[in-house]
Amino acid sequence: MIVFDQCSYQYSKKTPLETTAIKAVSLKLEKAQLTALMGRTGSGKTTLANLAAGLLEPGEGSVFVDDLDTREKRNSLKISQKVGLVFQYPETQFFCPTVGEEIEFALKNFNIDNPYRMLTIKALENVGLNASYIDRNPFKLSGGEQRLVAIASIICWEPDYLFFDEPTAGLDALYKKQVLSVIKQLEKSGKGVYMITHDTKLVKNEAKRLVVLCEGRLFYDGGVQLFFEDSQNMEKTGIFEIF
C-alpha cells in the first residue's frame, strides 16, 4: 500500500511565496478499492498524487510505497515503476511524434525485457484502441483518443498504483464510458486506482472509498454515501452534489 505518515509539503519553501499544500496528512491507500480524492481546487489532491509518485519529496513526515521511502534516492526507479500518474490534460504528457514511440518510451526507459511492439499493441487494446494507432501523431488525435493513449502509455509497464487526475473531464459520453471501463478493469485486476475528481455523480456511482482534503488537511476518509448524507460535510469542503 501507499502510506502517508504526518506528511506535509510546501511550495516555494523559505521564500515570500511559500505555500503549504499538504499539512500533516496521515493516510493509507490500498489496492483493489477504487478510491476518489476530492476537495476544492488547491486543497492538495494533485500534490498528494505527486508525492505518492515520488515526483515531490515531503518537507515533513514521510511517504512509503510498499515500504519504499520516497525520500531515499536509491528507491526512485522502483517507485517510478510502481506508481503511474495520468495527468488531467493528456497532451502535457506527450513528447514523441507517434503513438507507438510514446508508449514504448516508458518500456525502454525501464529496460523491460519484452518485445516492445507486442506490449504496445496490448496496451492499446486494453484501452479499447488497436494497432492502427501506432504510427499516428498523438497531438492530432481527438481529446478522447488522447486520454486513452495517455492511459495506455502508463499501463503498458503495469504499475501497481495509478492516479487519474480528472479522468473523464471534457469527454463525451462514449469516451467517458470507455475510460471508466478501463479504470474499473484495473481495479478488478487488483491494482490501486485513485481518481482525483470534482464529479460527485461519478464518485457516487463508481467509487468504493472517498478521501476528502480541505485546506491541505485530511477532512474525511470513508464510505462515499456517508459523506454525502451529512450536509455539513459538503458546506465545509465546498463539495456539492450535481444532479
Show which residues are catalytic.
Answer: 166
Angle made by CA atoms 81, 78, 148, in degrees to the nearest 5: 10
Identify which of 36, 34, 38, 35 has the alpha carbon closest to the alpha carbon of residue 198. Answer: 38
CB 49 within 8 A of CB 84: no
Cell 507486442 identifies what position? 118
CA distance 57 to 72: 9
- Can you spell out the DSSP letters for 146-181? HHHHHHHHHHTT--SEEEEESTTTT--HHHHHHHHH
CB 123 within 8 A of CB 103: yes
